[in-house]
Structure formats: structure tokens, C-alpha cells
Amino acid sequence: MTTLAGKSVLLIIGGGIAAYKTHELVRLMKTRGAAVRIILSKAAEQFVTPLSLASLSGEKVYTSLFSLTDEVEMGHIQLSRAADLLVVAPATADLMAKMAHGLADDLASTALLATDKRVLVAPAMNVRMWRHPATIRNVETLKLDGVAVVGPNDGEMACGEFGPGRMAEPNEILAAIIDMLKPRAQPLAGKKVVITAGPTREPIDPVRFISNHSSGKQGYAIARAAADLGAEAILVSGPVSLPLPPGVQVMPVETAQEMLEMCEGEMPADIAIFTAAVADWRVAAESHEKLKKTGSGPPSLTLIENPDILATISRSAKRPRIVVGFAAETERVTEHAAQKLKNKGCDLIVANDVSRDSGVFGGDRNTVHLVSAAGVEDWPPLSKDDVAQKLMERLAQMLVPQQKAAE
Ligand code: PMT
């Protein structure tokens, strides 16, 4: 039986009929040796009592943000940080909406906003609420924020309707908790990984710029995966609107020139991964005033080439041990990627098809091909998170034999 001994879980119980199942969840966690602290939302008190939960957990159950005794014994910030994992079950539509928008108007939502620990939610609600565009948006936001989701399951609801919305069973939630708390290998501990992500913005005048459709999602996922494997992850990011990934140091830049300077400043590193969609050209002479319509036709812009960041770092004296480029192609994907591998002097190119209907720019999925001197390896369609995790695991394996040979 997998143990949770030494682990501490903060269980936040939302106000839904599924709250009754948390008695069994608390019992299962305690059987595995976890310390379980509980916050009951105001609405949850209508379904379960602090007394029953305190008896099962052997700990005081917290209910109110403004209880002075609780703040003296253990403030809400400490309550959420002392845990190894926060579990929200049942996660109601209302509680998830608060989480997605960063609201903090009671103890449950305040603890969730104040935490720096991983969070697992087990949604439970009526099927129409689960399928409402607002809930879909909120769940997507939570996933982007790194929140893990277990369930909901299909089945008959307390309201008599049928469909997805039933909270996952206590043993399924326990399995997700065990998975999230299991010790992870940290093969990149002590290693520095520099990642570029997002687009660059090349100014034309104070209000206009040249850029592209990169959202930064693939690069941010790679930075998260590098940090999860124990690396010091440095993310040199063009302008994007994504949440800061936990455990990653983000260095914001705008132009290709700034991105190059930031990357050079971060060398030496063990691995560098260039996912950014860098503008190949910039305007030769940026106007310091807004360009005006003159009546004599549109202005002509002279473009000059930007530095190639990947090629520059690949050929520098401080070259990282492993240099990975990406290739965004719209035709003859692997053929063009193989050419880039040679031209840019990197160890690996991750090629992806970014044709208009591929949905790669800004989407959550990617189909990549790994192009190296050894040949081409095709990966199946995956989420960008899975591409990131698989790629980082592969790079960690490549780094370790190199290191053993050097010793
Ligand atoms: O950001 P997302 O919406 O998640 O989309 C992900 C992505 C499509 C941007 C990503 O998967 C990707 O393909 N990134 C590379 C985009 C690109 O600019 O490809 P490229 O073929 O033009 O460039 C090849 C390589 O050279 C890339 O590693 C690029 O970062 C690098 N490069 C290019 C030009 C330049 N001046 N400097 C560079 O370093």
C-alpha cells in the first residue's frame, strides 16, 4: 500500500451534496498516514459538520476567515503553505470561478489564493453547469495556472439529471493525490536550462510593430517541465499573456535584439531550448513619432535582418552542452528542419507544422518531429504539456551520459 506518511494535505470542502463523500476521502488519506487539515466553506457547513470531520481527521476544522483564535494559532497563509498539497472537493462551479478570477472573500478562497503549493480540484455540479461556457473557461484557466483536475464522472446526479458532473469517487481522488505527492526524480537538479518563448515585437513607430501569432504556450510548458525535473529554469519571454510558471525565473523582453542580449547574459547554461518565434526582420529605422497618412500613399518600410539567436548561441564560446531549436514550417516540415539543424549548428530540432489549420499557434496541442543527426523521430499528437515533459525527459537522458563521459 502506497504511503502518504509525512505528507500533509489541506482539504477544502465546497458546498455541494458530494461533500458527504469527503468523510471517506479523509478516512482513506488518514489510513495512508497523511496529516489532513480541513477548511469547510460556509455552504459546505450545510452538508457536513465540523464535528464529524474533526473526529475523522483528528485535527481542528477551520471555517471562518475572521476567527481571531485561528489567526493566532495558525494564520490562513500559513495554513495553506504548511500543506504539501491543497485538495478542493467537491469543487463547485462557484468555488472554481473564484479560483479562476483570484477572488478571496472567505477562508477557502483566501487559502487558495495565498498558497504556493500544488492544487487538485475534484469538480462536482449539475451537468448543465459543468457544460456552461463560463465553467469551461474557468476550468481551462485553472489548468493553465497548473491546477490538476480529477473527474468529474458521468452518472445520475442528486438533481435527477444524467451526464458528467458527479464528483470522482474518494478512491479516485486518493489515487490522484498519491500520484501528485509521489517523490519525483530530479535528474536536472543543479543544471541550468535557458528557454526562449513567445513572439518578439519589432517596433515600426511608437504605436505599431511587426510580430506573429506565437502565444508562448509551448515554451512556457517546457520551462515548467524543466523546473519539475529540478533544473534552474530561465525563461526569456517575448510579450505573452500567460501566468508566470511556478519555479521558473521569467526574463521579459520585447525585441529580437533584447532576446539575444538576455540569452547571452544567461550563458553559460547546460541546455538551451529556443521555442520563441523570433521575427526574422525588423524595420531599419524605427520612427520616433507616429507615422501619419500623408495623402501620397502608404510609407515604404525597409527591413533589415535580425540576429539569429539560436545560431549565435550555438556557435558561441559559451555554447551550452545541448542546444535545441524549434522549426515552425508550413510545408516539407522535416526536410526544412534538417536544413535548419545544419545551418544553425544545434543538436536537435523540434519541427512542427504551423499551417493555418494546424491550430499549433496559440492552441494546446502539438504534433512534433525530432530531427537530429541520427534521423527523424515522429511523435504522435500530444498536448503541449506532454510534448514538454517528454522532451525534457529526453534531454535529461542525453545530458547524463555526456556528463559521465566527461568525468
Ligand atoms: O507559442 P505557441 O503558440 O505555443 O506556438 C509554438 C511555436 C509554434 C511558436 C513553437 O512550437 C515553434 O515552432 N517555435 C519556433 C518558431 C520559429 O520561429 O521557427 P523558425 O523556423 O522561424 O526558427 C527556427 C529556430 O530558430 C527556432 O528555434 C527560433 O527560435 C530560432 N530563431 C529564429 C530566428 C531568429 N532570428 N533567431 C532565432 O533564434
Q: Is 159 annotated as catalytic?
A: yes
Q: What pLDDT is stored for residue 68 in this prediction?
A: 46
Q: Residue 73 pLDDT more than 60? A: no
Which of 188, 224, 249 is CA-nearest to residue 395? 188
The pTM assigned to this predicted structure is 0.74
Question: How many CA atoms within 13 Å lie on the side-chain side of 340?
Answer: 24
Q: Is the CB of 200 under 6 A from ligand 1?
A: no
Output the pLDDT for position 405: 58
Task: Give the position, in ligand 1's atom list, of the atom nearest the Cα of 311.
Answer: 39
Q: How far is 146 from 61, CA to CA, in rounded Å?
A: 27
Return left, alpha or beta for 247; rule: phi > 0 is left, psi -120 to 50 is alpha, else beta: left
Q: For the ranges 70-84, 183-197, 250-264, 368-382, which has the lowest average pLDDT?
A: 70-84
Determine if ligand 1 sits within 6 Å of the CB of residue 385.
no
Whether residue 44 has pLDDT greater than 70: yes
| pLDDT, tens only, 212-238 | 999 999 999 999 999 999 999 999 999
pLDDT confidence tier of residue 252, bands split at 50, 70 and 90: very high
User: Mean pLDDT throughout 259-278?
Assistant: 98
Among protein residues, the one whose CA lies closest to atom 27 of ligand 1? 326
Q: Please give the domain boundaries of the chain with CATH numbers for all domains.
A: 8-181 (3.40.50.1950), 192-406 (3.40.50.10300)
Measured CA angle at 393 (ends 391, 395), to 5 deg: 70
| Ligand 1, atom 37: closest residue by C-alpha | 308
Per-residue pLDDT at 109: 94
Q: Which of 134, 136, 158, 159 is catalytic?
A: 159
Ligand 1 centroid, distance to 278 Cα (angstroms): 6
155-204 pLDDT tens trace = 877 777 788 899 999 999 999 999 999 888 899 999 999 999 999 999 99
Whole-angstrom distance, CA of residue 111 vs CA of residue 115:
6
Average pLDDT, rounded, for the chain: 93
Confidence of residue 254 (pLDDT cuts 50, 70, 90): very high
Residue 321 corresponds to which cell in the numbers above? 552542452
Cα 61 to averaged position of ligand 1 atoms, centre (Å) = 51
Whole-Å CA distances, 249 to 136, 189, 193, 240, 313: 30, 15, 11, 15, 20
Model pLDDT, residue 198: 98
Whether residue 306 has its Cβ less than 6 Å from ligand 1: yes
360 in contact with ligand 1, CB cutoff 6 A: yes
Q: In whole angstroms, give the CA distance from residue 120 to residue 2.
A: 19
pLDDT at 286 over 60: yes
Q: Which amino acid is at 33?
A: G
Give the tens place of pLDDT for each residue, 13-39: 999 999 999 999 999 999 999 999 999
| Buried b or exposed e, range 75-103, using 16+ CB within 10 angstroms | ebeebbeebbbbbbbbbbbbbbbbbbeee
> Is 218's C-beta closer than 6 angstroms to any atom of ligand 1?
yes
Is any atom of ligand 1 closer than 6 Å to the C-beta of 255? no
The mean per-residue pLDDT over the stretch 108-119 comes to 92
Percent pLDDT > 70 in the chain is: 95
Predicted confidence at residue 70, as pLDDT, reads: 58
